[in-house]
Amino acid sequence: MSSPVEKEAGSTEPVKDTDNPSSPTEEPVKRKREYKDFGHEEEKATHAKVDMSEIQLRAEDLYDKEKVDLETIVVEDVFKLLQCDENGLSAEEATRRLELFGPNRLEAEEQNAFLQFLSFMWNPLSWVMEGAALVAIVLSNGEGQPPDWEDFVGIVTLLLINSFIGFYEERNAGNAVKALMDSLAPKAKVKRAGQWKEIESAELVPGDMVSFKIGDIVPADCRLTEAINVSIDQAALTGESLPQSKKNGDQCFSGSTCKQGEAEGVVISTGANTFFGRAASLVGQDDDTTGHLQKILAQIGSFCLISIGIFVIAEIFCLYAGFRYNYRRGLNDILVLLIGGIPIAMPTVLSVTLAVGAQQLAKYKAIVTRITAIEELAAVTILCSDKTGTLTTNKLTIDRETVRTYGPFTAEDVILLAAYASRTENQDAIDACVVGALGDTSRARAGIKLLDFKPFNPVDKRTEITYREESSGRLKRVTKGMTGIIIELCTRNKTDEIENRLEADVEEFAVRGLRALAVAYEELDHDDHEGEGNGFELIGLLPIFDPPRTDTKQTIDDAILLGVRVKMVTGDQLAIAKETGRRLGLGDHMYPAKVLKDGPEPGGKHGSLDEMILDADGFAGVFPEHKYEIVKRLQGLGHLVAMTGDGANDAPALSRANVGIAVEGATDAARGAADIVLTEPGLSTIVHAIRGSRIIFQRMRNYSIYACAVTIRIVVCFAILAFAFKFDFPPFMVLIIALLNDGTIMTLSVDRVLPSNTPDSWDLAEIFSYAVAYGLYLTLSTIALVAICIKTDFFYRKFGVTFHGGATMATDHNDPQLHSIVYLQVAIISQALIFVTRSHGFFFMERPSFALMGAFCIAQLVSTIIAVYADWGFTQIEGISGGWVGIVWVWDIIWFVPLDWIKFAMKATIIKSLRERHNAAKAQAAKSESTGVPVTRTQSRAASVHESLYSNRVSFIRRAARKVGFGSKISMKPEELQRFSSMQAQHAGATLARNPSRTAAA
């Protein structure tokens, strides 16, 4: 049995009383009962609002929905508008239209791999790295000294590693548009000049006559001109649970599958203009390369860049204008700030952290196709979920607890008898559901001998079985089907009381989104199985629905506890959506999709559409454009949105969302558009993924504070040392510090941290505040040590240690042993800082991972060995004694202890103030929304600059590709977001106006 179940029209003829022959032949006509069997409301066909006598094949008429809607107008007008007939187009006209409308396929842009790789060097962090490399290899070449090859090679190596990781990640991401295109039918049966033939589906044009049968994929959007028992599965496009019955005049979508019957139709749209094509264009429309993490990295990079810039300018004026340094000496000091100031490996460290996190999520059967989505998942505040196949099983089930009975049979008896009246082979969805309810499907034919079976057909709208009961030998008959049809057959117990009960039950089912299936039974008092029985008796009403997955409710509850709000966004009917929401505890405060166009009712509780979307528990009857619009508006309200789905109809929203999640069993299109693909049934993996992503987020936040603090500590420290003591630290040793630091920090990817119970967010004001406080404190520790070494002989008097040549004081401010001492002191305490930034309390209260602790110990051992044994002339360092090593270690331990107290002091003062201001701003925004006052969210100038620095990466690729001849012109059109926009109609109309149809009527 197919769905939707259509309303019974009924008859208004007089009723003859067969039980009382003496009664009058005619009685007053009874009220016609309307049984609201669940199904789609049918829209009556309309006529085109254009002058059909002067119509030409012009897009401004053809695709202007104010004048005509090819999906709903009468088929006769479709033929007139498309200037075709049932004999099909001529070969010449088909060729002409193919040139005008383009091929019936989706176009995707191919990026040049080399340019894509280069694009990862196009951001502020990379620019500073590249600038430092140029300074080392070009500007440092002078005054009889060779270029600084050591620094150049080290910087370029890190830059290439970072770019390769980003390139590898993006190159391996799925191409959603390609997956959508691949699922289109490659061949189509078309009538040209009265003859049927098979052609490539890409050659179809509007006006073609096509045919398809069971198992075929519909090759283009079409209107049916002939339909024989046709049922179309379009769940992957519209989200509807069941295959849909189609009749003459109905529309079939490109990419849907014919499950029953055969049909002929006229093509009304092809390629990007089809329902399927519009979904594909939405997937490719937005440039998601400017991800959330990239924007954060841009702002952190800008912070480091500004810090470096300030002190580089100060050094230029002070060292050259004030101290009269020669060119090369001053340049080495500037190079120290460039190399040490920028967190050179930040993108690499964060990429490794995310990659390791992706491997950890894979243990929970979640495959991450875009690793930066992990960071965004940690900050997600709203989860928009498709219903069919995501929240539910996409498998119809009988709700046993709601079965209604009207006779002597129990609910189990009714289900068994309904199973008798069902096919056991080649089943449709309804028959499979009823037979499956038995548990043991063999019971559907056990104990009976099948004599006659009438399968479902669109005319009778019911099935019927006549059988012999083997235990008694009696003939019996059972029928099941549409309520209005079945009750008319029930002559034995069709009383007003029964009809009233039935009408009330059907009404209740419809309100709850349950499909009603009536069951009737009769016995035959003879042995002729084709003869009439003693009259049907209504025995039961079966409620059929698509049940939620067993773990869905728990998953939703867990998500809510984590501070993530769940909204249902489904293509199914409103009543079904509300019932599913009630069963899952989501709520039933849901709206039909038309409110997205019409907006809230005047005088209602919602002052704006945005407010309505934010308040709703879900939306029903949505198309891909609606899902996309909902996600986009929620993002505009400042939320990070995750979207789950399984079909091609979900692909646009999956692509638009901050985190797209394709559930188990999803189509290739959905998997290609998603950032995370689940390989196990159910949504419980999402909760694991959210928790895992928040652990990963904490690791990245800890590193960001550390990296920014090291930037401040290096830049401020060595600039002040240069200003105060003319101290010239070797640039190569700064690079060694950076390499050892970043090698240690890589182990943060497996560090022990606790996830937060609320969505995470990058509060850069907090990060920078901590960084400045830590950085200035560590700067002070180094300056104090250098000042004591230069100004006093304290260490010689107390510990007997000397400098180069046995000096008791570093009278030579650039003593090579002093360089080694400063190197060791900076290396030790800079790495030790991570133990403070990774903990919320005292550093010793939160045990680090063995990997982090081991890496720290190894790095410090290497740093100590370098300080003791490295006599590298080009670095201007000289090995120091064991006494100095002990002094530096004790010095750093003494300075390390107060770092925790600085953290607590910051939390109690500056950080507390920042959070209070942030919460006050949020409360004010919420108050404004609740009172209906529109809240305008504007982006700061700085944030806009940060975003543009990253977003121009894509424009850089495209401009370069066109100039050097790589790749093809971009084919995605922003106007494809709307179904047939005025811009598209104007463009296509202008083209067609220059090429009027040769077949137009004179």
pLDDT at site 38? 40
What share of residues in the chain are helix, strand, coil (percent, to 5)?
Answer: 50, 15, 35
Residue 760 lies in a domain: yes
User: Band of the pLDDT at 228, cuts 50, 70, 90?
Assistant: confident
Rounded to an integer, the average pLDDT of 508-537 is 87
The pair of three-digit structure tokens given for residue 806, joined into one six-digit string: 């046995």
Instruction: State whether 533 and 412 are in the same domain.
Output: yes
Instruction: State whether 529 and 553 are in the same domain.
Output: no
Residue 501: give its domain's CATH number. 3.40.1110.10
- Are the C-beta atoms of residues 675 and 361 closer than 8 Å to each other? no
Residue 42 pLDDT greater than 50, yes or no: no
Instruction: State whether 754 and 879 are in the same domain.
Output: yes
Instruction: State whether 377 and 470 are in the same domain.
Output: no
Mean pLDDT (the chain) is 77
- Are the C-beta atoms of residues 765 and 757 closer than 8 Å to each other? no
Q: What's the CA gap between 747 and 726, in Å, rounded? A: 37
pLDDT at site 129? 72
Q: Is 51 a catalytic residue?
A: no
pLDDT at site 133? 80
Residue 718: give its domain's CATH number. 1.20.1110.10
Residue 220 lies in a domain: no
Residue 813 lies in a domain: yes
- In sequence order, the 6+-apart residues with CB closer than 8 A to the CB of 228 are 261, 262, 263
Instruction: State whether 661 and 752 are in the same domain.
Output: no
Residue 365 or 86, more confident: 86
Residue 528 lies in a domain: yes
Rounded to an integer, the average pLDDT of 753-769 is 87
Q: pLDDT (tens digit, 9 = 90+) per residue, 944-996?
A: 444 444 444 444 444 544 444 433 332 333 333 232 222 333 333 333 344 44
pLDDT at site 121? 74
Instruction: State whether 727 and 604 are in the same domain.
Output: no
pLDDT at site 175? 42
**CA geometry: angle 291, 293, 298, nearest 5 deg:** 95
Alpha helices in 52-187 (DSSP H): 59-62, 75-82, 91-101, 113-119, 124-134, 149-171, 176-182
Rounded to an integer, the average pLDDT of 28-37 is 50
Instruction: Give the orientation angle of helix 731-745 with respect to helix 684-725, to 10 degrees.
Output: 160
Q: pLDDT (tens digit, 9 = 90+) per residue, 148-200?
A: 677 788 778 767 876 776 566 555 533 433 443 444 446 889 999 888 888 88
User: Band of the pLDDT at 44, cuts 50, 70, 90?
Assistant: low
Residues 792-798: contacts with CB within 8 Å, 24+ apart?
A: 795/884, 795/887
- In sequence order, the 6+-apart residues with CB closer than 8 A to the CB of 694 are 378, 755, 756, 760
Instruction: State whether 709 and 844 are in the same domain.
Output: yes
Q: What's the CA gap between 223 and 70, in Å, rounded? A: 8
Place of tokens 């209740």: 508
User: Band of the pLDDT at 701, cuts 50, 70, 90?
Assistant: confident
Phi-psi region of 490 (alpha: psi -120 to 50; beta: other; left: phi over 0): beta
Residue 584 lies in a domain: yes
pLDDT at site 950? 40
Residue 544 to residues 207, 286, 405, 879, Cα–Cα distance (Å): 40, 40, 15, 83
- Are the C-beta atoms of residues 616 and 590 closer than 8 Å to each other? yes
Instruction: Give the orientation angle of helix 292-315 with respect to helix 346-362, to 10 degrees.
Output: 160
Residue 491 pLDDT greater than 60, yes or no: yes
Domain end residue (candidates: 859, 882, 911): 911
Mean pLDDT is lowest, of 123-132, 137-146, 456-465, for 137-146
Mean pLDDT is lowest, of 474-483, 646-655, 773-782, 989-998, for 989-998
pLDDT at site 995? 41
Residue 405's Cα: distance from chain center in Å?
45
Q: What's the CA gap between 827 and 729, in Å, rounded? A: 13
Mean pLDDT is lowest, of 282-291, 440-449, 501-510, for 282-291
- Report the share of the chain in percent with pLDDT over 90: 23
pLDDT at site 73? 81
- In sequence order, the 6+-apart residues with CB closer than 8 A to the CB of 386 are 239, 568, 569, 570, 571, 627, 643, 644, 645, 646, 647, 650
Q: How many domains does the chain have?
A: 3
Mean pLDDT is lowest, of 84-98, 203-217, 736-750, 787-801, for 736-750
- In sequence order, the 6+-apart residues with CB closer than 8 A to the CB of 497 are none
Place of tokens 């510090």: 737
Q: pLDDT (tens digit, 9 = 90+) per residue, 309-341?
A: 899 999 999 998 888 888 778 888 888 888 888
User: Which range marks the domain in which residue 539 is found?
Assistant: 397-545
469 DSSP β-pair partners: 448
User: Band of the pLDDT at 527, cuts 50, 70, 90?
Assistant: confident
Helices (H) and strands (E) in the chain, counts: 35, 22
pLDDT at site 54? 57
Mean pLDDT is lowest, of 45-49, 531-535, 654-658, for 45-49
pLDDT at site 572? 80
Instruction: State whether 710 and 855 are in the same domain.
Output: yes
Instruction: State whether 596 and 658 are in the same domain.
Output: yes
Residue 749 pLDDT greater than 90, yes or no: no
Which of 223, 218, 185 lies closest to 206 in space, CA to CA? 223
pLDDT at site 108? 52
Rounded to an integer, the average pLDDT of 768-795 is 95
Residue 592 one-letter amino acid: P
Q: What's the CA gap between 599 and 613, in Å, rounded? A: 10
Residue 886 pLDDT greater than 90, yes or no: yes
Residue 612: give its domain's CATH number. 3.40.50.1000
Q: pLDDT (tens digit, 9 = 90+) per residue, 564-584?
A: 999 998 878 888 888 888 888
Q: What's the CA gap between 327 and 331, in Å, rounded? A: 6
- Report the share of the chain in percent with pLDDT over 70: 76
**Which is catalytic among the residues 77, 386, 546, 646?**
386
Residue 858 pLDDT greater than 90, yes or no: yes
Q: What's the CA gap between 764 and 946, in Å, rounded? A: 13
Residue 161 lies in a domain: no
Domain end residue (candidates: 617, 644, 679): 679
Residue 686 or 771, more confident: 771
Residue 681 or 62, more confident: 681
Mean pLDDT is lowest, of 314-323, 403-412, 919-928, for 919-928
Rounded to an integer, the average pLDDT of 228-254 is 77
User: Band of the pLDDT at 72, cuts 50, 70, 90?
Assistant: confident
Instruction: State whether 825 and 787 are in the same domain.
Output: yes
Residue 303 pLDDT greater than 60, yes or no: yes
pLDDT at site 63? 55
The pair of three-digit structure tokens given for residue 54, joined into one six-digit string: 């002067």
Instruction: State whether 469 and 612 are in the same domain.
Output: no
Instruction: State whether 527 and 596 are in the same domain.
Output: no
Residue 988 or 132, more confident: 132
pLDDT at site 964? 42
Residue 449 pLDDT greater than 80, yes or no: yes
Q: What is the pTM of this model?
A: 0.67
Rounded to an integer, the average pLDDT of 509-524 is 88
Rounded to an integer, the average pLDDT of 734-749 is 80
The pair of three-digit structure tokens given for residue 702, joined into one six-digit string: 């800890």
Residue 10 pLDDT greater than 50, yes or no: no
User: Band of the pLDDT at 23, cuts 50, 70, 90?
Assistant: very low
pLDDT at site 777? 96
Residue 374 lies in a domain: yes
pLDDT at site 859? 93
pLDDT at site 153? 81
Phi-psi region of 519 (alpha: psi -120 to 50; beta: other; left: phi over 0): beta
Domain end residue (candidates: 545, 575, 602): 545
Q: What's the CA gap between 14 and 29, in Å, rounded? A: 6
Backbone angles phi, psi at 545, to 5 degrees: -150, 165
